[in-house]
Structures are given as C-alpha cells and as structure tokens.
C-alpha cells in the first residue's frame, strides 16, 4: 500500500514485539508504517532496536510525573508525528483515562494470555499454577478497564508437563510475534478503507 496508516509504538523494555512489527514489511506489504517508538524508559532496549530500523524515537522517564500529565506529553509527541494508531508493545504502565479517550478505538495491545483469562502481570506463572492445558496471547483494543477491550486476535499454546514460566513465555512470545503484525495490519487496512483519505485530518480535530 502506498498510503499507509501511521503507527506509534509504545514500549518499556526489550522491544521484541516492536521488532516483529517493524520486520513485517519484509514478508508483506502492510497497511501500516511505524513512524515513532515512544517509551517511558529512556534506556529501554526497544528504543535501540527501533533506531536500527530507522524509526524515530522519543523517551522520557515517567518517574516523579503525574500520570495524566505524562500521558499528555506522550499524546503531544504522537500527534507531532501524525500518528493515527497506537500499538502498545510491552508498555508496562497504566494509561490515563484521558489518553485512552484521546485515542479512542485506536489503541491496540498485545497481552500474554488468552484474555479474558489472566489479565495483569505474571500470566504464565498463574496459568501453570492453575493447571491450565493452554496458555497463549491476545491482541485487543484498549479500553479504560485493564486488559479488557475487545479481542481481535488470539493464539493458543499447549502447556507441556515440564514447562516453567520462562519456557512457556518463550513459546508464547513466538506466537505474539506472529499474530501482532497480522492483527495490526488487518486493523489498519480496515481503518484505512473506512476512513481514507480523511483519517489524519479527522484525528487532528
């Protein structure tokens, strides 16, 4: 696609999902392009990876800042880059209601569980302790309730008898890298087809 939906990725750490999103254009002609990687952790490895892909980066520590004020700064930066869709990729910080409202229906997240099961943190350890047969990952739209928005893609991973949280996380992560780019692509394609060519101007209002 020539005219792509402008995506801002938000991350806090390793950045392997950001990398999977950035690499997707090697195997497909995605409807999105990543125009910014933003982080609340200035030393996040994901920012280094993003720069290697030629993606612009922005970072500011949230420490000592009010959540709503910090999120306003992030929104300003996303708007400066004319971002249309926000993809959370290991962004380990709650978003303020104002931020979610500002990007209503245009924030996606990847979560390492089969939502609605195991919202929050430490999902693999909790799934193992509960004796589940399957773990997995979900791509969902972000709403004001934590890990609660509509699921748009999901992948199941069979739990093995000897799994540890780490071994399970590694297999689930492979699935995250497979489904997140596809889900973001489908989402952006649908958005583009519905809104074009006014998507950017609509967001600026």
Closest CB to ligand GAR among 147 and 203?
A: 147
- What DSSP designation does 205 have? -
* Of 11 and 199, CB closest to ligand GAR: 11
Please work out the total of residues on this chain that contact ligand GAR, with binding judged by CB under 6 A: 14
- Per-residue interface string for the shown chain with ligand GAR, residues 124-163, x marking contact by CB under 6 A: ----------------------------------------
Fill in the per-residue mask, 75 to 104: x = in contact with ligand GAR (CB under 6 A), - = not in contact: --------------xx--------------
Site for ligand GAR in 22-51 (CB under 6 A): 46
Query: Is residue 140 annotated as a catalytic residue, yes or no?
Result: no
CB-based burial, 118-154: b 16+ in 10 Å, e otherwise: beeeebbebbbeeebeebbbbbbbbeeeebebebbbb
- Are 43 and 25 in contact by the 8 Å Cβ rule? The answer is no
Enzyme catalytic residues: 111
């Amino acid at each position: 696609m020539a005219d792509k939906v402008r995506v801002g990725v938000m991350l806090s750490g390793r950045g392997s999902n950001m990398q999977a999103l950035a690499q997707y254009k090697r195997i497909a002609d995605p409807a999105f392009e990543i125009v910014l990687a933003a982080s609340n952790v200035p030393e996040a490895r994901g920012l280094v990876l993003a720069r290697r892909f030629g993606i612009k980066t922005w970072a500011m520590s949230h420490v000592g800042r009010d959540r709503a004020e910090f999120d306003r700064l992030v929104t300003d930066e996303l708007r400066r880059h004319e971002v249309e869709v926000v993809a959370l990729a290991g962004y380990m910080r709650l978003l303020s209601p104002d931020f979610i409202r500002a990007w209503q229906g245009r924030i996606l997240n990847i979560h390492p569980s089969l939502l609605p099961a195991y919202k929050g943190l430490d999902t693999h350890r909790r799934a193992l302790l509960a004796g589940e047969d399957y773990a997995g990952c979900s791509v969902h739209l972000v709403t004001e309730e934590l890990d609660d928005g509509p699921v748009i893609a999901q992948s199941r991973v069979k739990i093995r008898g000897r799994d540890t949280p780490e071994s399970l996380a590694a297999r689930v992560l492979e699935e995250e890298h497979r489904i997140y780019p596809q889900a973001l692509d489908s989402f952006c394609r649908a958005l583009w087809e519905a809104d074009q060519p006014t998507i950017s101007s609509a967001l600026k209002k």
